[in-house]
Amino acid sequence: MTLEYIYITRHGFRSNWVVDHQTGSYTSYLRTPTGIPADPALTAHGVDQAKQLGARLLALSIDRVYSSLYYRCLQTVEPYVRQSGHKIKGETGIGEWYGSAPFEHPVPASLEILDTHFPDMLDLTYKPLVTPTRMGESVDELHDRVALAMDKLIEECDRDGVKAVLLCSHAAPIIALGRVLTGNMPDNIEVEDFRAFTCGLSVYRRRGLKPGTSLEKTLGTSQLARNGMIPDAGASESKSSVGDSSWRGGRGVRGGWECKLNSDCAHLELGEERGWRFSGDESFKDDGILDAGTELGVIVEGRNKGKL
């Protein structure tokens, strides 16, 4: 048995933080639960989004949950995990992205600390498959990191007989996930191809599966045809696709995946909110204090408002 479906969601609305490029100092507007400035909690609205997302996820057949270890991601999947009984595997390979810099970026809190905030939710025996560099990454390095993480994660799920997984991550890695899974890397990284709205749901289906599988039956044909769907490139299969960038050119990681839903927000009362896209070469070059919510990308406003 092999992995068939990958469900991906972004954390809900959160509070913000800033970074001083000259000193590498991170500060937050509000005190964070873990004491790490770049590790804020969800806002009250974000908590509501997480509950609405959880209700939708409970209607799906999900066998395993992987998440970034930042507080906002764990808080986002908490409503679903509490009701489904899954344990979260904390995977730093799909963790937050920071532009390359001459100083060290933050890392998530330890499992011991996070376990006090999310008791009985974390798989404390799980060892992350990939660990990002503390000095940050270029856009290309981010995609390579995510490709490596997915190559190992898919291999692990194939080995364990897992059919469907849920990943909770951040905007930049979610865009990169779409690109490495489908193999569709645009010439211009600023293109808004794979979207990342707060608590939006993306679905990737492994190439070569027969039509009419459980996903189509659960979501329904009309929902798969929403404007959030991206057609598959239809490229041929490839083997492990990391290191030599062989996932590019439409091949995709581990044989490639079709995007069936692209950050769909039909389950959210206010629809699409606070999307994001890349904005050129993401490195810490300028002086001064920069807002983490806008400096490394462009906020994308939602195109549909209201629960469908």
Backbone angles phi, psi at 69, to 5 degrees: -90, 5
Contact (CB, 8 A) for 67 and 74? yes
Distances in whole angstroms, Cα of residue 143 to Cα of each of 165, 176, 213, 220, 236: 20, 5, 30, 31, 20
Give burial (CB, 10 Å; 0-12/13-18/19+) of 39. Answer: buried
pLDDT at 3: 98
Dmax (CA) for the chain in angstroms is 55
Structure tokens at 153: 């994660």
Domains of the chain from N-terminus onward: 5-300 (3.40.50.1240)
What was the pLDDT predicted at 226? 37
Q: What is the pTM of this model?
A: 0.87
For residues 6 and 164, give the distance between their C-alpha atoms in angstroms, rounded to a whole number.
Answer: 6
- Judge contact between 87 and 114, C-beta under 8 A: no
CA distances from 166 to 24, 29, 87, 193, 297 (A): 33, 30, 11, 21, 25
191 close to 230: Cβ distance less than 8 angstroms: no
Mean pLDDT, consecutive 10-residue stretches, the chain (308 aa), reads 95 86 80 94 97 98 98 98 98 94 92 98 98 93 96 97 98 97 95 96 93 50 38 34 70 96 97 90 55 59 58
Count of CA atoms in the C-beta half-sphere (13 A) of 306: 1
Distance CA 223, CA 213 (A): 15
Three-class SS of residue 233?
coil
Is residue 145 helix, strand or coil?
helix
Chain centroid to Cα 83, Å, comes to: 21
| Residue 214, pLDDT score | 47
What whole-number distance in Å separates Cα of residue 165 and Cα of residue 5? 7
Q: Which helix (H) or strand (E) holds 257?
A: strand 257-264
